[in-house]
Structure formats: C-alpha cells, structure tokens
Amino acid sequence: MVVIKKYPNRRLYDSSQSKYVNLDFIKTLINDRTEFKIVDSKTEADITKSVLLQIISESEANEQQSLLTDVLLKQLIRFYDSDMEVFVRQYLEQSIVQFIAQQDKVQGLMKNMVDNSPIGMFSKIMEQNMSTWNLNPKNKKDN
C-alpha cells in the first residue's frame, strides 16, 4: 500500500517514491486501482477520506465533469443521521462495484470483438508475416 503524508503546508509526499505529489497523482493511483492511504504528517491520522472529498469537490466544480447533480446531493444529504444511512452506504458501494465490474466485462467483450473482426484478424496475420519475414536469415542478408 502506498502511504502519502500530508504536511501542514498542504503538500502531499509519497514516501514510497520519496517525492512530493499532487491531487492529479492521487487520481492516477485511483484510476490504476492502486491501494493507498493518506495520513497527517504530525498525528499519523488517516485523512484519506477528506482528500478524496477534496478531489470530488474540485471535480464537481467543473460542470462538464460533474457526476453529482443538485437533486442527487440533496437526496444523499437526507440520508445522513437517518435509520437508512448504513443501508444507503452499503447499497451505493455495492452498486458502484457492480457497475465497474460490468464496465470491465463490456470493455473486454469489445476488445475481443475488435481483435476477432476481419480487420483485427488481418492485422494479426500481417504481424505474424512480418515477424516471420524478419526471422528469415535470407531477408537479414538483404538488409
């Protein structure tokens, strides 16, 4: 697990690479599905959630990048301090996990379709022919 330390000057430091990083680096870790934790440099308290919320907040400020509508945010706020809070948290988490799993399956199917399409097959044949041609000793003499 990558440990990021947040210093009082608001700088983030990746101790595994011994370098300062920014929120874009944290986004890259998320997109690469790399496990990480962000801790306060003085108290060692886990502050991952607050940094993740900062990333979401900055992303939501950009209207073209926004996922959370005002209606959705109001609905979520209504669930805080209610009997349904734990249920909603679990439901949302499981829904996102299932959505990502389905997305991965669809991307795999699409890649498989492209690889097995006539153009994909032709491309594979051309690659095989080129590698065979490059391995032929007679062709190496000509170069």
pLDDT category of residue 110 using cuts at 50, 70 and 90: confident
Reduced to 3 states, what is the DSSP secondary structure of residue 4?
A: strand
Angle subtended at Cα 70 by Cα 65 and Cα 72, rounded to the nearest 5 degrees: 95
- pLDDT tens by residue, 6-18: 999 889 999 889 9
- pLDDT tens by residue, 59-104: 999 888 889 999 999 999 999 989 999 999 999 999 999 999 999 9
Sheet containing 19-21: order of strands: 19-21, 12-14, 2-6, 36-40
Cα torsion 99, 103, 104, 106 to 10°: value is 140
- pLDDT tens by residue, 20-46: 999 999 999 999 999 999 999 999 999
Kindly report the number of other CB atoms within 10 A of residue 80's CB atom: 9
pLDDT value, residue 121: 75
pLDDT value, residue 116: 76
**The model's pTM:** 0.69
- pLDDT tens by residue, 40-65: 999 999 999 999 999 999 999 988 88
pLDDT value, residue 142: 53
